[in-house]
Structure 1
Amino acid sequence: MLASVTLSFSSLTVLAQPVNQQKPPIQPKSNTSEQTIYLSTLEWPPYSSQQLPDGGAAVFIAKAAFSAMGYQLKVDFYPWARTIDATRSNNSRYSGYFPEYYSSQTAQKFIYSDAMFNSPLGLIEHKDHPIRWQEVTDLNPYVIGTVRNYINTEEFDQRVAAGQQLIEAVTDDKTNIKKVAAYRIPAAIMDLYVFSYLVNNDPKLRSAKYLLQANKQLLESKALYICFKDTPKGQHFANIYNQGLEKVDVERLLADYMSRLIPGDTENLKYSISQ
């Protein structure tokens, strides 16, 4: 069932069911024997960014999980396609990349971690031209903005692949915000916290804050994961991360981080996700 939308930071919750099966407990390493794990990521504030404290909300949570197991996480930032390619290489120092949505195709190539937390994926639109829809098929008359190589929802992506849904793909979310604001496309798919962060913090996009809004209906509440290399070492690091994730209070850490990053009860942050 599609979700309806009003927003709160507490809506970013950990999924109850992990992707991977339970593994034997791994003993945390002592501080004196701390090891370093390298992951690749992208500029996708507020979840990941070189400009944010601790590298963004998702990086902050990943660091806390690895730290709970005695490991240090270091991340490097790349464009999205290179973020994935950097992990694919056999000679790469990266054990995985993140944050990523789940897809069955990606699961054939990488080992998914347990879920970090859920994030709200929706449509951004002009305030004076809202889109009324109930089912994904209702979006057929519209050209929807997407970001190249991003996973959206399974149904939406299947319809695009089958030629049943028109899209315009660009390189980043900022471009889609500009295109919707300029009436070049009626709507774009976007994580709503990414949208809120960008229009509140990017000087070139602040005018869009008063022109655009999140559509009242959510496409999906999607979990974010780390994708590890499909190797024994990748599986080992996935197990370490998953057990560390159980040791930290993700909801408390995330709510505190996000409230400091995007303070106040602004119009674009009034989302509360309910299935």
Structure 2
Amino acid sequence: MLLSLSMPAVSDDKVVRLASLDWAPYTGNQLRADGVTAQVVREAFAVMGYELEIVFYPWERAVSMGSDPSYGLHGFFPEYFREDIGDNIVFSDPVGYGPLGFAERKDSTVEWTELSDLSSYTIGTVQGYANTLAFDNAVAANELTISEAMTDTSNLMKLAYSRVDLSVIDQFVFAHLMVTEPELKAFHSQLQFNQTMLEVKSLYVCFNGKNAHLADILNQGLAKIDIRAIQDEFFSGY
């Protein structure tokens, strides 16, 4: 998606340009209001007199371009908090939350309490996505076996065809994909979200160092809106 060439409604120094990805229902240029998290960020900036423009890319490219001010972008979102993300990145206050866990097959449910309980399973993940710190550390230590996919949809398809035993996914993303992706609809009655959550993760906007001041402006705007009400209304259909 290209940046709009139309004149902004406010002066250019009041336009915030962020990179994001198609990660429904949180962000996506085919979604109402560009997704629930985009709606939160847009409303928070609006109450501060700023306009939001979003460009959509595959996630790794969104992170790369949003981190480098030479591309004309101020940052990227939505991101989980990561201490290894780099010294030049400034996180906003949370702009929402995402319940992270596993999808599983209904005929092959998995009971677990500790990550070590999953050592005998193959777990589907999405390339470039951060999961929980404990999960990613266990993978790095070869304590868990993973199989990477390029997208959440392809990750779930691998699960449906028994090529993995579990798939790491956000609960709302799972619910959205199962009713909107044609190739997954055939498996709607066969897949479910595992009862044990990995973590309820906060979502953030990341600003590159040159534009760190925008984090303070966004944070002030976030304090003036009701994030939970926006999310509850958006997710009411799920």
Taking structure 1 as the reference length, what is the TM-score of the superposition?
A: 0.80
Aligned twin of 1:255: 232
Percent identity over the alignment is: 36
For 2:204, give the aligned amino acid.
Y
Contact 2:67 2:76 in 1 (8 A): no
Q: How far apart, CA to CA, are the structure 1 residues paired with 2:86 and 2:234? A: 29
Contact 1:177 1:208 in 2 (8 A): no
CA RMSD, Structure 1 to Structure 2 (Å): 1.4
Contact 1:179 1:185 in 2 (8 A): yes
Question: Which secondary structure state, in structure 2, belongs to the residue aligned with residue 141 of structure 1?
Answer: coil
Contact 1:118 1:221 in 2 (8 A): yes
Contact 2:10 2:50 in 1 (8 A): no
Question: Which secondary structure state, in structure 2, belongs to the residue aligned with residue 176 of structure 1?
Answer: helix
Aligned twin of 1:93: 72
Residue 207 of structure 1, CA deviation:
1.6
Contact 2:67 2:207 in 1 (8 A): no
Q: 1:245 aligns with which of 200, 205, 222?
A: 222
Aligned twin of 1:69: 48
The unaligned stretches of length 5 or more in structure 2 are 1-8
Which structure is richer in relative contact order (CA contacts within 8 A, separation 6 or more)?
1
Q: Is residue 100 of structure 2 the alignment partner of residue 121 of structure 1? A: yes
1:1-275 superposed matches below 5 A? 35-106=14-85, 108-231=87-210, 234-259=211-236, 263=237
Please list the CA deviations of residues 187-230 of structure 1 after superposition, one character each: whole Å capped at 9, or x if unmatched. Answer: 11000100000011112211222110011100101000001102
Q: How far apart, CA to CA, are the structure 1 residues paired with 2:207 and 2:104? A: 35
Residue 89 of structure 1, CA deviation:
2.4
Structure 1 stretches of 4+ moved >6 Å: none
Q: How far apart, CA to CA, are the structure 2 residues paired with 1:42 and 1:186? A: 26
